[in-house]
Structure formats: C-alpha cells, structure tokens
C-alpha cells in the first residue's frame, strides 16, 4: 500500500528543507507520496528542481513563499 510521508521543516533555513526532503525521498518506496511543509522561500523553488533532477513526479506546490506545501510522488 502506498503511504504518505510528511516532512515538517517550518522555521528551518537553507539547506535543511532540501536535506529533509531528500531523506524522506530516500526512505519512501516507489508509489509513496511525500508531503513537505515549510517556510523558507528559496526552498519552495528549489525542492521542485530537486524533484525534477531525480526524475520524480511533482504533484503540487501550494501556499505562499513563506508558508508552502509541496507534494511529491516517488
């Protein structure tokens, strides 16, 4: 059964939102969903770049630059 892994990096600064997302991607199985919430503005742009770089599927990016949610499918 595909699971949803939640990552909360609200309040964390560069580069930890990216790092925590990467750790979650490593832990996830194929088909799992990873849901990341954060407040660091650049990470909102950069996590999707990392997702694209790893050939994973970006399901959605929502919220403001300082309060966002990113959803990824492994």
Contacts of 3 (CB under 8 A, 6+ apart): 28, 29, 32, 33
Question: Whose CA is closest to 30, among 5, 52, 6, 48?
Answer: 5
Is residue 31 at the binding interface for another protein, with CB under 8 A as the rule?
no
Residue 9 annotated as catalytic: no
Among 35, 37, 48, 50, binds another protein (CB under 8 A): 50
Q: Rule CB under 8 A: is residue 16 a binding residue for another protein?
A: yes
Distances (CA, A) of 3 to 12, 25, 27, 40, 51: 25, 12, 11, 26, 18
Confirm or reject binding of residue 59 to another protein (CB under 8 A). Answer: no
Instruction: Out of 2, 4, 8, 15, point to the residue binding another protein (CB under 8 A).
Output: 15
Positions that interact with another protein (CB under 8 A)? 11-16, 18-19, 21-23, 26, 49-50, 53-56
């Amino acid at each position: 059964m595909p699971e949803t892994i939640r990552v909360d990096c609200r309040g964390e600064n560069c580069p930890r939102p990216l790092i925590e997302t990467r750790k979650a991607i490593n832990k996830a199985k194929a088909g799992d969903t990873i849901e990341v919430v954060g407040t660091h503005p650049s990470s909102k742009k950069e996590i999707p770049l990392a997702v694209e770089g790893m050939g994973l599927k970006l399901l959605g990016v929502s919220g403001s630059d300082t309060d966002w949610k990113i959803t990824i499918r492994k």
